A = this chain, B = another copy of it.
Amino acid sequence: MKRLHVDRPLTLIRMEDEVDRLVAAWRRERPDLDVEPLEVLSRVSRLARHLDRARRLAFSEHGLEPWEFDVLTSLRRAGAPYQLSPGQLLTQTLVTSGTMTNRIDRLAKKGLVERLPDPSDRRGVLVRLTPEGRDRADQALAGLLAQERAILARLSQSQRGDLAGLLRQLTAPFDNIPG
């Protein structure tokens, strides 16, 4: 009795997700609480986890881990000569300093980055992308974008714009205030 392929505007199709089920369960178990915030923020967290998994798959074709991609592309984006301080890498990747030291060590061992002393601050260090590191970053980026386009395909151009704008409202305070 199911009719498939019924023609109607994409925007009216509404498929349930785990968060719908989660919210319904809370409303049943804790009708005294207003759980509306979860509609947005639980979806953000869960989607991020799904994206992590998808990325891990996509990058494995290029022999990169997601954390390696994050560091290499931060340097790549900086433009020639492709170097940043560990501190600048921290704000871009949102990890702790101990983690970043460790990441740089491992990438250096693989020959994808190198450490240079900062000429203007003897406490500091500059991390520079090697030519091979740059190539790897460029290849993996192309693969990632293809995958992400597929994930976003069910939204229209203007919906993607709306979504980006709404998310910016939430990320901006974290990114600007020290947070």
* Given A77-B25, A159-B166; A45-B48 close (CB under 8 Å): yes
A94, B145: Cα distance in complex, Å: 23
Give min CB distance, A35 to chain B, whole Å: 7
Whether A76 is near chain B, meaning CB under 8 Å from some CB there, is yes
* Contact across chains for A168 and B14 when beta carbons are under 8 A apart: yes
Q: Interface residues of A: mostly helix, strand, loop or mixed?
A: helix
> What 1/0 flags go to A162-179 for Cβ under 8 Å of B?
111111111111111001
Instruction: Determine how many copies of this chain the complex contains.
Output: 2
Question: Which of A15-23, A99-107, A113-121 is the interface stretch?
Answer: A15-23
A29 contact set on B, CB distance < 8 A: 76-77, 79
Checking B18, B26, B52, B53 against A175 with a beta-carbon cut-off of 8 angstroms, the contacting residue is B18
Give min CB distance, A151 to chain B, whole Å: 7
A142 contact set on B, CB distance < 8 A: 33
Q: How large is the interface on A (under 10, 10 to 19, 20 to 34, 35 or more residues)?
A: 35 or more
Give min CB distance, A138 to chain B, whole Å: 8
* Contact across chains for B79 and A28 when beta carbons are under 8 A apart: yes
Checking B33, B41, B46, B152 against A141 with a beta-carbon cut-off of 8 angstroms, the contacting residue is B33
Give min CB distance, A73 to chain B, whole Å: 9
A91 to chain B: closest residue by CB = B18
Interface residue ranges, A against B (CB under 8 Å): 14-20, 22, 25-26, 28-30, 33-41, 43-53, 76-79, 91-92, 94, 138, 141-142, 145, 148-149, 151-152, 154-155, 159-176, 179
